[in-house]
Structure 1
Amino acid sequence: MTAKWLPPEQYIETVARATSAACLYFTDTRGRPVQLRARRATEIWQWPGGNMDPGETPWECAVRECLEETGIIFEGPRTLLGSQFIRPRGTSWPANHIVFIFDGGTLTDEQIDGIVLDPDEHTEMRVETVEEWEKAMTPVGFARLKGIDEARRTGKVAYFER
């Protein structure tokens, strides 16, 4: 069977739609994950990041969102730790959502103390061990945290579906 060629404006109607986001995963000098408490979100504990703007790459998004949400100007290497695919959630989010999770590296105590949260987005910043985070997070959110922490330690990129 020969495939029928469609003009781009018609072809785009036949493929899955998706929004995308990117974030940076940081730890302190003892290897403890640094997370921000979101004002409004499904998972209240999260990493600096957010939805991509039109024309923006995942990396550009992660760096921009980190600056906006923490005041940190990140200039480290572009290391992907993992990605997450989230199916549409009915009328609350009618498209697929794809998240890129980059390694933000290690923050010193001084850098952590210098974090300035955007009060419209986050109310608190906390540093805990992976085990301590389990008590504060949803099972899905904690599984992602644990997987990303392992990806950083092993160098093997993680992939999550929800």
Structure 2
Amino acid sequence: MTSTWLPPEQYIETIARASSYACLFFTDTRDRPVQLRAVYNEGQWQWPGGNMDPGETPWECAVRECLEETGIVFEGAPVLRGVTFGGPDGDWPANKIGFVFDGGSLTDGQLDAIVLDPSEHSEFRVHTLEEWRSLMTPEAFVRLGAVAEARRTGTVAYLEHPRG
């Protein structure tokens, strides 16, 4: 470690890089998680969300992405339910940090009104945790289970190196 001060544009080159995403975790009124099927990977189920734009906060990103991907105009307060961290993996050269916010419960009418962006998602489904287990990779299911448990207990899940 050196005591030499570096201008921000030089210092930033010396620290870890990361991309960041944010999403909303919804259930139906029977507490069954709602997930979207990604078109770029038909085996991947995910929550409405995506990568943060420059200058955007995690909360702003989650609400914007939810609207873009489902048509849901979310007006609730930001309640954090999970934080994920993954290191560089495969072709992705940077850390990835995620923020999972609680979207609450959707009524049958709200579920029926979902309009998916077909360039991103092919369908959405509502299942019990046990039903989701057989549809997801084990790593992705751990993340789903941890966030569902955090919601049930009113806590925040922290997961390192989530995959799936």
TM-score tier after normalising by the smaller chain length? over 0.9
Distance 1:42 1:98, change over 3 A: farther
Distance 1:28 1:3, change over 3 A: same
Q: For 1:126, what is the secondary structure of its paired residue?
A: strand
User: How far apart are the structure 1 equivalents of 2:121 and 2:2?
Assistant: 53
Where does residue 88 of structure 1 map in the other structure? 88
User: How far apart are the structure 2 equivalents of 1:43 and 1:23?
Assistant: 19
* 1:6 Cα deviation from its structure 2 partner: 1.2
* 1:94 Cα deviation from its structure 2 partner: 0.8
Distance 1:113 1:13, change over 3 A: same
Where does residue 9 of structure 1 map in the other structure? 9
User: How far apart are the structure 2 equivalents of 1:3 and 1:31?
Assistant: 53
TM-score (norm 2): 0.94
Where does residue 51 of structure 1 map in the other structure? 51
Where does residue 102 of structure 2 map in the other structure? 103
* 1:131 Cα deviation from its structure 2 partner: 0.8
User: How far apart are the structure 2 equivalents of 1:17 and 1:157?
Assistant: 24
Where does residue 135 of structure 1 map in the other structure? 134
- The 5-angstrom pairing of residues 147-162 of structure 1 reads 147-162=146-161
Q: Is the 8 A contact 1:70 1:118 kept in 2?
A: yes
* 1:42 Cα deviation from its structure 2 partner: 8.9
Where does residue 21 of structure 2 map in the other structure? 21
Where does residue 62 of structure 2 map in the other structure? 62
Instruction: Report sequence identity in percent.
Output: 70
* 1:155 Cα deviation from its structure 2 partner: 1.1
User: How far apart are the structure 1 equivalents of 2:2 and 2:95?
Assistant: 29
Distance 1:2 1:51, change over 3 A: closer
User: How far apart are the structure 2 equivalents of 1:37 and 1:71?
Assistant: 16
Q: Once the two structures are superposed, what CA deviation does each residue of 1:56-84 show, in whole Å capped at 9, x if it has no partner?
A: 11001000000000000000010000110
CA RMSD of aligned residues (A): 1.4
Q: Is the 8 A contact 1:29 1:107 kept in 2?
A: yes
Distance 1:36 1:111, change over 3 A: same
Where does residue 36 of structure 1 map in the other structure? 36
Q: For 2:134, what is the secondary structure of its paired residue?
A: helix
* 1:157 Cα deviation from its structure 2 partner: 0.6
Q: Once the two structures are superposed, what CA deviation does each residue of 1:94-119 show, in whole Å capped at 9, x if it has no partner?
A: 11110100000010000001100001
TM-score (norm 1): 0.95
* 1:89 Cα deviation from its structure 2 partner: 1.7
Q: Is the 8 A contact 1:35 1:45 kept in 2?
A: yes
Where does residue 112 of structure 2 map in the other structure? 113
